[in-house]
Amino acid sequence: MELRDIEIFLTLAEELHFGRTAERLHVSQARVSQAIKVQERRIGGTLFERTSRAVTLTPLGEQLRDDLRTGYDAIRKGLTRAAESTRGTTGTVRLGVMGVVGHEIRDVIERFTAAHPECDVALSEIVFSDPFSALRAGDLDLILVWRQVREPDLTEGPVLLTEGRLMGVWAGHELADRSSVSMEDFAGRVVAHCASPALEYWIESMVPQSTPSGRPVLRGPAVTTFHEVLTQVAGRRCVTPMNEHGLHYFSHPGVAWIPVHDAPLTEWALVWRTDDLPARAQAFAEVAAAAGPRAYTAPTGDPAQPPR
């Protein structure tokens, strides 16, 4: 079966309409019909049921679709990578970041665009409650998230940024006047609970279910974005761990930030699809690895803490 015939079959299996398939592939409807008939004769069975009102896959057609899809996608990706290699590193790196973290890696972005002037970097926001979907769907080339990511279809690459952690409490909280707190101070306190589809093990690396000594940390309101977390903290419904950059970027009425002196460092690493890394994204990862991780440093003139 020719690659074009496979493409026609898979497109018709998706569209279930001869006219739309022809339009999408820029061929005549007769070409689509002919290709399907040839495939059915070669296989010796019917792939599609056709009536005046609908086109549907037969069980044989469903089986062939499922068997061909993975191999066809792999061939297309291989051809794309080969084409990228012949014309050099060009195009836009689509990088997913959480909130303002992209601002903290601008030095890496500048190094990359200086080394590859025909490339650009487009930042898109991802949220901690669903950090991987856009990457898996192919809408992003890379994402920057905290470690540890242990997904079989994803690869964790170089660390770009490291930083300490804070505890966020509401104004007037018993800990608000402390110069620092311990991870043990989360014991018995309510923290926001991340709504699905976030991975529990990955969230737990930032919001543990117990302190280092094993004392439980209670789960409270479900949230999907950091702004929702701030609202819950200011409303006295929970406390929250947060990365150090939050003190500079997320001043919020009614929320006080306290350094956690014994918290593990947060390491922000690039992650990509294991079997699908475009040349431009690979070049970005190589520049990031060569630069090495940068320790976060709070800018001078940080906004004042809210009243405690």
For residue 146, the Cα-to-chain-centroid distance in whole angstroms is 11
Domains and CATH numbers, the chain: 3-86 (1.10.10.10), 89-162+266-295 (3.40.190.10), 165-259 (3.40.190.10)
Each residue of 259-300: pLDDT tens digit?
A: 999 999 999 999 999 988 999 999 999 999 999 999 998 876
Residue 297: its pLDDT value, please? 87
- pLDDT tier at 304, thresholds 50, 70, 90: very low
In 3D space, the residue among 205, 212, 207 whose CA is nearest the CA of residue 262 turns out to be 212
Distance of alpha carbon 123 from alpha carbon 120, whole angstroms: 10
Each residue of 184-219: pLDDT tens digit?
A: 999 999 999 888 767 889 999 999 999 999 999 999
Residue 292: its pLDDT value, please? 93
- pLDDT tier at 72, thresholds 50, 70, 90: confident
Residue 85: its pLDDT value, please? 58
Which is it for the CA torsion 287, 302, 175, 221, positive or negative? Answer: negative
The structure's pTM equals 0.71
| pLDDT-wise least confident of 33-37, 76-80, 105-109 | 76-80
Integer angstrom CA distances of residue 279 from 114, 126, 141, 197, 306: 16, 23, 10, 30, 46
- pLDDT tier at 180, thresholds 50, 70, 90: very high
Helix/strand/coil percent split, the chain, to 5 = 40, 25, 35
Each residue of 227-260: pLDDT tens digit?
A: 999 999 999 999 999 999 988 887 788 999 999 9
- pLDDT tier at 138, thresholds 50, 70, 90: very high
- pLDDT tier at 35, thresholds 50, 70, 90: very high
Mean pLDDT of the chain: 90
pLDDT, mean of residues 131-143: 95
- Residue 106 burial (10 A CB sphere; 0-12, 13-18, 19+): exposed
User: What's the distance, Cα to Cα, between the start and end of the chain in Å?
Assistant: 72
- Residue 212 burial (10 A CB sphere; 0-12, 13-18, 19+): middle
Q: For a pLDDT cut of 90, what percent of the chain falls above it?
A: 75
Residue 273: its pLDDT value, please? 96
- Residue 192 burial (10 A CB sphere; 0-12, 13-18, 19+): buried
Residue 197: its pLDDT value, please? 66
- pLDDT tier at 89, thresholds 50, 70, 90: low
Give yes or no for residue 101 having a pLDDT over 60.
yes
- Residue 177 burial (10 A CB sphere; 0-12, 13-18, 19+): exposed
- Residue 281 burial (10 A CB sphere; 0-12, 13-18, 19+): buried
Token digits for 230?
């701030």
Token digits for 153?
């279809």
Strands 190-194 and 218-223, by their bridges, are parallel
Q: For a pLDDT cut of 70, what percent of the chain falls above it?
A: 93
Residue 299: its pLDDT value, please? 74
Integer angstrom CA distances of residue 231 from 169, 177, 192, 218: 11, 20, 11, 18
Return the residue matching tokens 């976030």: 198
In 3D space, the residue among 244, 198, 243 whose CA is nearest the CA of residue 223 turns out to be 198
Residue 251: its pLDDT value, please? 79
Residue 76: its pLDDT value, please? 78
Q: Tally the C-alpha atoms within 13 A of residue 192's C-alpha that lie toward its C-beta.
A: 29
Q: Are residues 41 and 13 in contact, defined by beta-carbon separation less than 8 angstroms?
A: no
